[in-house]
Chain A
Amino acid sequence: MWQALGRPGFLCSGWLLRSVGYLTVSGLTGLLTLVVALLLLSVGGLLAVVVVGIPLLGAIALLGLPVAGIERWSLRMIDARPVPDAHRTPPRPGPASWLRTRFTEPVTWRELGYAALLMLVLWPIDLLAVILGLTVPLALLATPLLLATVGEGQQVNVLKAYPVTSWPAAFATCAAGLVALVACAYGLGLLAGSRGALARFLIVSPVSPLGDRITELTRSRLRLVDAFEAERGRIERDLHDGAQQRLVALTMMLGMARLDAPAGPLAEQLTRAHDEAERALVELRELIRGIHPPVLTDYGLDAALVDLAARSAIPVDVHLALPQRFSRPIESTVYFVVSEVLSNMAKHSGADHGEIFGGYSHGRLVVTICDNGRGGADVGAGTGLLGLGDRVSVVDGRLSLSSPLGGPTQIVVEISCQPLPGSE
């Protein structure tokens, strides 16, 4: 807006119209808000004695929400910068959660402040500015036209105050109208610009540049992990649909060839080749599962963790109540952490028995892995635990470790999250 005011083409650009539009919308919104507020106040006040009025009075506190909503929309007319909605998303569906969120966030009260300012002070200014800013210059400009219709010598009252009877006076008024038009246009632009700045200041919650940066970094880290996961999935698909199918076809051909081969050195070589191909197939299957287990995508954490435990070198009992599905980064994070912890357990703990517990309640996914080993696991000792902690923190989770010397070792992964819709 300010840059547009400074440019020579301001008058001919669309900015003048935008300013008028913005001020008109604001003025009318303020007027409407005043009416609604008075209505709520009087009806609510009257009904307050019979209790039903109290919610109506409470609703006044939320008047800022629709006002700010309209403001965010109309502000786009004169301000190219984004006007983000600073409200939080309620953690749960339903009106109770929505109300609790709205009443406890500061931006609701800032918006109420803006609504109050608008309905008590600003709207008459906005509307008056638009009406005067447009009618006065137009009336001045139209003087010669009016004089022509009534004829020279007759009297034309400019702005109902200044009598004009002669052509020179009429054209002088017209010229004054031209000057007034330019002045009013800049005046309206200035007013719209300042009003927009004020509105932005009040309804857009101030976020420090550092906070912005941290939010952006956190998001990009999550995106990175997600992209990494997608890439693993792609490699798994390529191996499965390419190399693995070819190897299966190869073992089948070798199997057929063995049927036809006469007993002798050729048959022996074929058998050896066949065995090699089968071993390659087994190794490739293990490799693919290590890259990205399809069972995780197809059936979720419950089935995938049961299978993981069944493959562990140490017997591991599984107690899971996880029918829900979670987002891909969360499921694969938990899967790979458990996988890593189980292999650590087999390598370092000296345990002969392990257990996995898992469940989801009150918005938290918790998976616990314990063993009866010698303990003494250390985050700093290169066991990869630090890396696991980092991995969990990417999805806003926490990994905690308890491993006193002499054992037992217990590792808990906690992630605040919502299950995917329809999976509960």
Chain B
Amino acid sequence: MPATTGLRIVLAEDSVLLREGLIGLMARFGHRVVAAVSEADSLRDAVQTHDPDVVVTDVRMPPGFRDEGLRVAVELRRIRPGLPILVLSQYVETVYATELLNVGDGTSLGYLLKDRIGQVEEFLDALNRVVRGDTIVDPEVVRQMLRRRRNPLGPLTAREREVLALVAEGRSNAAIAAGLVVTEAAIAKHIRSIFHKLDLPQAEENHRRVLAVLTFLRA
């Protein structure tokens, strides 16, 4: 897919070093950070003022240095359903990602560990996909989710769980097939089976993928 350029971005990150770095990184790929704030409250105002294409925010920020960034992200999605938001976090704990993706229909949302910023091109790709409506969860967080044993994803086979985890990471069928060394057709078959077993309503393929990811997250 062609890379989107010229995105208007509102960035919230309290570390100056990281904030400036991210602004430079976005600019290099032809995007524009229209507002860079260092506080959760200012994030709310900046989104109101600039109406950006996508919001990129840190989780832990002033004033309380707890999860203010995430809370404002959730709140923004309530006020503006569909606003693409990419949350950058230091926390692998699944509850943070679940908190974000549970609001609304779960599309156009991403939860990535800050480690991923270093893989510059993949990071920018994730940003583009969030803007296009995908749901993306950090592979490390997905791994942590797979190991949870509170309510196992009952009827899915081990292979289907594996495929679903990769879907949750935001990978395309082709990428999943390459990763598991099988044909794309085989992956498509697994995914149809997952949709069926999770009893997802008939809908457009992309939306069903999001629903499957949400089921996975809420398990």
Chain A residues within CB distance 8 Å of chain B: 237, 240-241, 244-246, 248-249, 251-256, 258-259, 274, 277-278, 281-282, 285, 288-289, 293-295, 297-299, 303-304, 306-307, 309-311, 315-318
Q: Contact flags (1/0) for B85-114 with A, using CB distance below 8 Å?
A: 000001111111000000000000000001
Q: Which residues of B contact A309 (CB under 8 A)?
A: 148-149
Q: Is B6 interfacial (CB 8 A cutoff)?
A: no
Q: Are B18 and A249 in contact (CB under 8 A)?
A: yes
Partner of A237, one of B24, B65, B123: B65
Q: Which residues of A contact B21 (CB under 8 A)?
A: 249, 252-253
Q: Is B77 interfacial (CB 8 A cutoff)?
A: no
19 contacts between A and B (CB under 8 A): A241-B60, A246-B17, A248-B118, A252-B22, A252-B117, A255-B117, A255-B123, A256-B24, A258-B120, A278-B115, A281-B114, A293-B93, A294-B91, A295-B95, A298-B67, A299-B95, A310-B145, A310-B149, A311-B147
Q: A245-B15, A251-B115, A252-B18 are in contact. Are A295 and B120 (CB under 8 A)?
A: no
Partner of A244, one of B90, B95, B117, B120: B90
Q: Which residues of A contact B114 (CB under 8 A)?
A: 248, 281
Q: Are B149 and A274 in contact (CB under 8 A)?
A: no
Of all chain B residues, the one with the shortest Cβ separation from A354 is: B149
Chain B residues within CB distance 8 Å of chain A: 14-15, 17-18, 21-22, 24-25, 28, 60, 65-67, 90-96, 114-115, 117-121, 123, 144-145, 147-150
Inter-chain CA distance A278–B28, complex, in Å, is 22
Number of A-B contacts (CB under 8 A): 103
What's the least CB distance linking A103 to chain B, in Å?
44
**What 7 A-B pairs come out closest when comparing CB atoms?**
A251-B118, A245-B15, A303-B95, A255-B118, A295-B93, A310-B147, A255-B120
Partner of B66, one of A244, A297, A307, A315: A297
Q: Are B15 and A241 in contact (CB under 8 A)?
A: yes
Of all chain A residues, the one with the shortest Cβ separation from B92 is: A285
Inter-chain CA distance A259–B25, complex, in Å, is 11
What's the least CB distance linking A313 to chain B, in Å?
10
Q: Which residues of B contact A251 (CB under 8 A)?
A: 115, 117-118
Inter-chain CA distance A318–B152, complex, in Å, is 11
Inter-chain CA distance A251–B91, complex, in Å, is 17
Inter-chain CA distance A237–B62, complex, in Å, is 12
Of all chain B residues, the one with the shortest Cβ separation from A312 is: B147
Inter-chain CA distance A295–B66, complex, in Å, is 9
Partner of A307, one of B15, B95, B119: B95
Inter-chain CA distance A38–B148, complex, in Å, is 70
Q: Which of A248, A254, A277, A306 has the most CB of B within 10 A?
A: A248
Inter-chain CA distance A244–B117, complex, in Å, is 13
Q: Are B120 and A240 in contact (CB under 8 A)?
A: no
Q: Are B66 and A318 in contact (CB under 8 A)?
A: no
Q: Which residues of B contact A288 (CB under 8 A)?
A: 90
Q: Which residues of A contact B149 (CB under 8 A)?
A: 309-310, 315-318
Query: Per DSSP, are chain A's interface residues mostly helix, strand or loop, or mixed?
Result: helix
Q: Are B144 and A310 in contact (CB under 8 A)?
A: yes
Inter-chain CA distance A397–B115, complex, in Å, is 40
Inter-chain CA distance A256–B67, complex, in Å, is 28
Inter-chain CA distance A253–B115, complex, in Å, is 12
Inter-chain CA distance A95–B91, complex, in Å, is 46
Known: A298-B67, A311-B144. 7 other contacts (CB 8 A): A251-B115, A285-B92, A294-B93, A295-B93, A295-B96, A299-B93, A311-B147
Inter-chain CA distance A166–B3, complex, in Å, is 120
Inter-chain CA distance A258–B122, complex, in Å, is 13
Q: Are A259 and B120 in contact (CB under 8 A)?
A: yes
What's the least CB distance linking A22 to chain B, in Å?
49
Q: Are B66 and A274 in contact (CB under 8 A)?
A: no
Q: Which residues of B contact A298 (CB under 8 A)?
A: 66-67, 95-96
Inter-chain CA distance A249–B88, complex, in Å, is 13
Q: Which residues of B contact A241 (CB under 8 A)?
A: 14-15, 60, 65
What's the least CB distance linking A318 to chain B, in Å?
5
Q: Are A307 and B118 in contact (CB under 8 A)?
A: no
Q: Are B115 and A256 in contact (CB under 8 A)?
A: no
Partner of A248, one of B60, B65, B117, B150: B117
Q: A285-B90, A294-B60 are in contact. Are A318 and B150 (CB under 8 A)?
A: yes
Q: Which residues of A contact B94 (CB under 8 A)?
A: 306-307, 310
Inter-chain CA distance A309–B22, complex, in Å, is 35
Inter-chain CA distance A307–B93, complex, in Å, is 6
Q: Are B120 and A274 in contact (CB under 8 A)?
A: no
Inter-chain CA distance A316–B147, complex, in Å, is 9
Q: Which residues of B contact A293 (CB under 8 A)?
A: 93
Inter-chain CA distance A307–B149, complex, in Å, is 10
Partner of B118, one of A245, A277, A297, A317: A277
What's the least CB distance linking A292 to chain B, in Å?
13
What's the least CB distance linking B101 to chain A, in Å?
15
Of all chain A residues, the one with the shortest Cβ separation from B24 is: A256
Inter-chain CA distance A307–B95, complex, in Å, is 8
Partner of A306, one of B18, B91, B96, B150: B150
What's the least CB distance linking B115 to chain A, in Å?
5
What's the least CB distance linking A138 to chain B, in Å?
65
Q: A256-B25, A316-B149 are in contact. Are A249 and B15 (CB under 8 A)?
A: yes
Q: Which residues of A contact B95 (CB under 8 A)?
A: 295, 298-299, 303, 306-307
Q: Which residues of B contact A295 (CB under 8 A)?
A: 91, 93, 95-96
